[in-house]
Structure 1
Amino acid sequence: MEAPTPGMQNPLRQARLYGYLIEREGALFHPGGSHPLCSAGMTRRMIEAGWLVKAGDRYELTPQAQERIAPRAMSSG
């Protein structure tokens, strides 16, 4: 699994915090969010890199991503 790019870090943090993300209008949002976290293209990149998996209408961290993402593991960029 490659390291997350800077553009992946905030969506991955939000997925860890909320447990999942939702897709709306071609972008990912945290539940109840009104500001997009990333585009559909970035979502595809995170899925291909093994960070996210689509589970029904949600996008969740993969088990490998959950192991690698800890509060201290990602910079506060």
Structure 2
Amino acid sequence: MKLQSLAAAVALVVSAVLITGCDQAEKSAQQLMGKAAESAKQAIDDTHKAAEQALSDATGSKEKADDDSEKKPSSAQEI
């Protein structure tokens, strides 16, 4: 009987250790997912800023080119 009681106690202790280990693994996984989510958000924000800058540059360049093309005909007319 003592052997069965000892085996049951050992099984309970092992189960408790495994559950504790699983909880710690879950917490670590949650922290890792949180960091990954923050990194993804930062990458999206950086990409958005770069896209806005590229659009601004393209629009600014186009407007500047339009301004230059508008000036050329009027310069030709003055001559």
Give the TM-score category using the shorter length: under 0.3
**What TM-score, normalized by structure 1, do the two folds share?**
0.19
**What TM-score, normalized by structure 2, do the two folds share?**
0.18
Q: Which has the higher strand share?
A: 1
Structure of higher RCO (CA pairs closer than 8 Å, 6+ residues apart): 1
Q: Which has the higher helix share?
A: 2
